Structure 1
Amino acid sequence: MTKSAASLIAVLLASPAAGAVTFTVPSKAGIGGYAYAPLDPAPIGISFEFFAFPSYFTNVTGTNQCLANWKALTGVWPPIRIGGTTQDRAQYDAATSAYVVYSVASAADAPASLTFGSKFMTLASTYGGSVVLGLNRGKNNIDNTIAAAKVAVAEMSDNLLAIELGNEPEYWKSDGQPIASGTWTPATDAASQNNWDISVGSAIGKTSIIQAGNSNSAPPTWGAQELIATENATVKQYIATYAHHNYPGGTIQSLMTHATTVTNIHVFDADIAAALAVGKPYVFGETNSVSGGGAAGVSPTFGAALWTMDYSLRATYSNMSRTYFHHGTVGNCQYCFWGRYSMGAPYYGATAAIALMAGAKYLTALDSGITNYAAYAAFDSAGAPLRVLLYNSDYFNGSGTRSSQSFTLTGLTASSNVKAKRLTAASALSRVDQGGNPSFGGQYFNNGTCTIGGTETYEAAAVSGGQVTFTVKATEALLVYLQ
């Protein structure tokens, strides 16, 4: 008997055990005392560092395939955002025929200054999904930014979702950006944003076109709630979305712990509520595990993959419309989901989260958010339960015995078996570039190309009396299909 066959039989014979974590799946969205979040068709996207964007789409083979894999799940291309620190180092040059022009001492460096031409926006226009484009406010050259924005509107008529005016302005004073040469506080930045929003929006003849905020400091300071309080009706007509950045950091164990993730997302509750109160979506416009391109001992690991999954789902459940995971310098990016040669383990976690939400209309969390055990349920357009994702965030580093946890789902209407796909790896420390491939439903993503390898494998379990039990090992997740 093969190992996989033995595992399948073990699952089929599983019965509710002492200590099982039990979650009741509502028979319909909107009932059961749970909070329900409406779902964007593609809630998880990618942020590309401004100067590196052309390279990702012209020199990195995996980019289009990795994005296409997600489109195959949801039916729509995932959203992308182009921006980051180098957007405020970039000046538009109408005369250049290049995407970007810069020089660096090492290929691993980000440029201190750069120029870009209309070809940059032409490349962005070829993408099949929505694009948020970040432009320079730090240099305080509004005429140059308006010139670039006009080209963006003309070239990207089919996919331009919003324009950012500046990236993480709280750091501009220490970075020596000209716009922050005098007094620079959240209040002076808000006044600057408001003036630029009106000037750029009116110059390009577009309302609902600005992605505002874009700070990284934890709210309330530099947050959307604080910014919105300074805006009048004239400014608000130009706002499409409010965005914030977030890099939780920490060890692998702390990062992937479910209760820690829930606590981190709660920091943004007031900001989200303030944006929704004025009828605007709220997004994580740039985020990932550890700032500065990631930490080598944390960001490429399977533990970070599970954090990516849990974090994006908790953000979505908290009414964030989209989460853009940042990709920095090609070849010097520990948290990147893919590169020229190796896949990153976090891509697996994001894919599992997308697989839960694909084609769904509502999402809820079934757990309290205070333990290591999570359960998310997605519902279809008719409100019927579609899938449930179970997550055991107990930490396993590969040493000793790997513990497991039984999860019992009750309230099910299925009268026969349900099936599931397991997201697993050897341990939380597993890294693709060190030979530690995760698998999702028995499949993996090939290095360099992001094509799918392996045979798709479902586990099955019998529903009895409206309930079913699955066993999930420490540092694993399981996606259960109810339809």
Structure 2
Amino acid sequence: MYPSAIPSFLQVLLLFLLFFRTAEANVTVYDYAGPVTTSVSGVQPAYTGLQAYNPIVLNAPPLPTPSPANTFNINLRAAPPPGLSIKINGSFFGFSIEFSVLNQVLGYNSSVLMVPFLNLMANIRDRAGAIHIRVGGNTQETASMVDSLPNGEILSKDNSDTNNPTKTPPLVFTDDVIYMMANISALVNVYWFMGIPFNDTSDFRLQIAEKGQAILGPYLVGLQVGNEPDLYAKHFRRPANYSPAGYFSDFGLLVNAVKADPLITNPNMLIGPNLAGTWTPEMIWDTGFQNTYQSELSALAVERYPTDNCFSRYGYGVFHDAQQEFANYMTHASAQNILKSYLNSSTVAQSVNKPLLMFETNSASCGGFPGIADAFGAALWGLDYALQLAYSNFSIAMFHSSGQNVSYQPFTPAPTAQSFFHQWTIGPIYYAALIAAEVISSSNNAQVIDLLPNNASPSSPAYAIYENGNMVRVALFNYLSDDPTGNSAYTATISVGGSATGEQNETPASVKVKYLLADSVTTKGNITWANQTFGGYFASDGRLQGDEVIETVNCDTNANTCQIKVPAPGFALVFFTDNALGESENTAQQTFATTVQTRTRNTATINLDTLATSNGGRGMTDRMGSTSPESNLARGKSQALPSLLALAGFIWGGLTIRRML
């Protein structure tokens, strides 16, 4: 019998039986916010969700033995001391965003921008004046611009490159990516770095430079030439014998191609050598790179992660145990050890009058370590590292973000299927960025010095900030954690001028103090900056929550001292003048509202713990309904039908901005 001959009631019966059988299938619930509490004892199953929401909590590193002193003096000169850094702009701490995730982080297209991202950038803009963002990473090397993509997409991944050890997909994109960036700049003053594809020296695909300059105008401030060329041979992008001389030669080929392109109006905004650390910078400087291409270079740049988690992610390299690695981050020695190999390069950069950039960095390559990169300790480490970069005469430092399957994210959009009822997750590195903007401020005249207090204890580093010849702020760190006695907190007694320096006393009658705090270096979420927070997983629209609390500490003008207590763990930023506080404070408070939803009905929210422990029908007795507003035909029908929960939806948190540039 042909299907068309089956009576209609039998068709309905067959469909019902098919549905009823399907309804018996097992359901897997993925709880990205943490393991679901159950009554089952024993070993918890390994987490298999997205790494940005990995709930693992490590043990805090043990306290050092012997313990550092918990009281010490810091005697500061009122006038600028020897050893200050170069002048640093407020936009020093920026972000590097992997090209392949732009449509997850920046916006769906040039007309629909991610509102939480705008708010996060506005927070920093209001403190620093501007933000630098580098768009690139491994995915820039094989990216190709096309006229259009199906379904109005602006970016698409191509999985044809099977040789890449990091499984980074080649990309195709449209110029609407750049229009999207321009619209963001118009709103929150972002300045961009992009990268020219460098995998094929016979076809450099210069459209990204052509369109970038035409669309972004002054908001495009540099074009990267080669992302980690010292890893090209390892990643099969160049022959096994590829060397600094090879990069020098390839850079020259690009210089000639750029100069020959009439659509590139500024050929002198190239950036190199962008090394990962396999070659030393001196191997490039020895080729004469910085002098030969001085006129074409807008900056010199390197990339550096202190270690990697590649074995756990991709199965190559050396295995690093996160618990053992934790202590290596909770010390000032981490930042010092990273930067000592670049002190000569900062001198080289100054000799050719170029800024030195840390173009890509974070706590560990290949996504970072869960339990370290996403815990409070990373905020302390990231801020200490950033200030050490400034002290070492870097001009910009950009911390990398590369999608939901890594742990070191400064900020993470909710998975698309959850974005109607979940918000963004703000990581500890973003707190470091926000506070760095306040430490350095919008004056663009900050000079930084590493004070090495408390007998240079690695547990209690401190920096002083000078502006226009005056000491204005002090940054105090306490890496110690989990001491129930409270004895790991310390008190720093700060003096400005006076007999210790041979100057007139300059200690004010009082100072203002803001604190970065959490219960432990292992804490996830519940991080506060001056009593404000972005919350935990899925909790933020990009705006700080809570009332700001700035403490006033009275000083002893007779003794010329201010006593500042720093909890363990914690960070304190001390403002020595009202003007210094005003330069760092967020006064504009500009925020952005969501005006576009991609679905406005058939949406539901449900607690994940409830869903995970429910059979889907509890509490639904005698209740039948339809997911369609046009019909409710199931109401009152037989209760033999299985109950159905099939409501879903999502939102592109977006601001309506048309392609106006």
Alignment of 1:222-301 (within 5 A): 222-223=280-281, 226-227=284-285, 229-231=287-289, 235-249=293-307, 251-301=325-375
Secondary structure of 1:407's counterpart equals: strand
1:45 aligns with 2:98: no
> By how many angstroms is 1:281 displaced?
0.4
Residues 24 and 366 of structure 1 are in contact (CA less than 8 Å); yes or no, is this contact kept in structure 2? no
Between 234-243 and 76-85, the greater mean CA deviation after superposition: 234-243
The alignment yields a C-alpha RMSD, in angstroms, of 2.4
1:26 aligns with 2:77: yes
1:102 aligns with 2:129: no
- The whole-number CA distance in structure 1 between the counterparts of 2:71 and 2:300 is 41
Alignment of 1:188-207 (within 5 A): 188-203=246-261, 204-207=264-267
Letter in 2 for 1:92: M
Letter in 1 for 2:552: A
> By how many angstroms is 1:366 displaced?
4.3
Distance 1:228 1:72, change over 3 A: farther
Secondary structure of 2:514's counterpart equals: strand
- Which consecutive aligned stretches of 4+ in structure 1 deviate over 6 angstroms post-superposition? none
Letter in 1 for 2:281: G
1:408 aligns with 2:493: yes
Alignment of 1:60-71 (within 5 A): 60-71=114-125
> By how many angstroms is 1:182 displaced?
6.6
Residue number in structure 2 paired with 1:368 = 452
> By how many angstroms is 1:191 displaced?
1.6
**Structure 2: stretches of 5+ with no match in the other structure:** 1-68, 109-113, 161-165, 308-321, 414-423, 498-505, 578-661
Alignment of 1:299-338 (within 5 A): 299-329=373-403, 331-338=404-411
Residues 206 and 238 of structure 1 are in contact (CA less than 8 Å); yes or no, is this contact kept in structure 2? no
> By how many angstroms is 1:122 displaced?
1.7
Counterpart selection for 1:184 from 242, 245, 254: 242
**Structure 1: stretches of 5+ with no match in the other structure:** 1-17
Residues 23 and 375 of structure 1 are in contact (CA less than 8 Å); yes or no, is this contact kept in structure 2? no
Distance 1:332 1:338, change over 3 A: same
Letter in 2 for 1:444: T
Counterpart selection for 2:546 from 440, 447, 454: 454
Distance 1:165 1:232, change over 3 A: closer
Larger radius of gyration: 2
Residue number in structure 1 paired with 2:219 = 159
1:140 aligns with 2:201: yes
- The whole-number CA distance in structure 2 between the counterparts of 1:371 and 1:142 is 53
Distance 1:41 1:470, change over 3 A: closer
Residue number in structure 1 paired with 2:571 = 477
Q: How many equivalent residue pairs? A: 448
Residues 363 and 376 of structure 1 are in contact (CA less than 8 Å); yes or no, is this contact kept in structure 2? no
Letter in 2 for 1:66: L
Distance 1:193 1:482, change over 3 A: same
Residue number in structure 2 paired with 1:378 = 465
Residue number in structure 1 paired with 2:511 = 418
Alignment of 1:84-103 (within 5 A): 84-96=137-149, 98-103=153-158
Residue number in structure 1 paired with 2:473 = 387
Residues 107 and 180 of structure 2 are in contact (CA less than 8 Å); yes or no, is this contact kept in structure 1? no
Secondary structure of 2:106's counterpart equals: helix
Residues 71 and 491 of structure 2 are in contact (CA less than 8 Å); yes or no, is this contact kept in structure 1? yes
Secondary structure of 2:141's counterpart equals: helix
- The whole-number CA distance in structure 2 between the counterparts of 1:88 and 1:266 is 29
> By how many angstroms is 1:248 displaced?
1.0
Counterpart selection for 2:438 from 345, 349, 355: 355
Residue number in structure 2 paired with 1:441 = 530
- The whole-number CA distance in structure 2 between the counterparts of 1:425 and 1:405 is 16
- The whole-number CA distance in structure 1 between the counterparts of 2:260 and 2:463 is 42
- The whole-number CA distance in structure 2 between the counterparts of 1:201 and 1:227 is 23
C-alpha deviations, 1:224-260, integer Å up to 9, x for none? 6624743375622110011111111372321131122
Residues 244 and 286 of structure 1 are in contact (CA less than 8 Å); yes or no, is this contact kept in structure 2? yes
- The whole-number CA distance in structure 2 between the counterparts of 1:342 and 1:399 is 29
C-alpha deviations, 1:151-188, integer Å up to 9, x for none? 111111130101112211122223222xx137411221
Letter in 2 for 1:357: I
Letter in 1 for 2:138: T
Between 77-86 and 365-374, the greater mean CA deviation after superposition: 365-374
- The whole-number CA distance in structure 2 between the counterparts of 1:264 and 1:222 is 13
- The whole-number CA distance in structure 1 between the counterparts of 2:292 and 2:248 is 14
Using the size of structure 1 for normalisation, the TM-score is: 0.86
Residue number in structure 1 paired with 2:600 = none
Letter in 2 for 1:427: S
- The whole-number CA distance in structure 2 between the counterparts of 1:333 and 1:240 is 31
Residue number in structure 1 paired with 2:210 = 150
> By how many angstroms is 1:89 displaced?
2.4
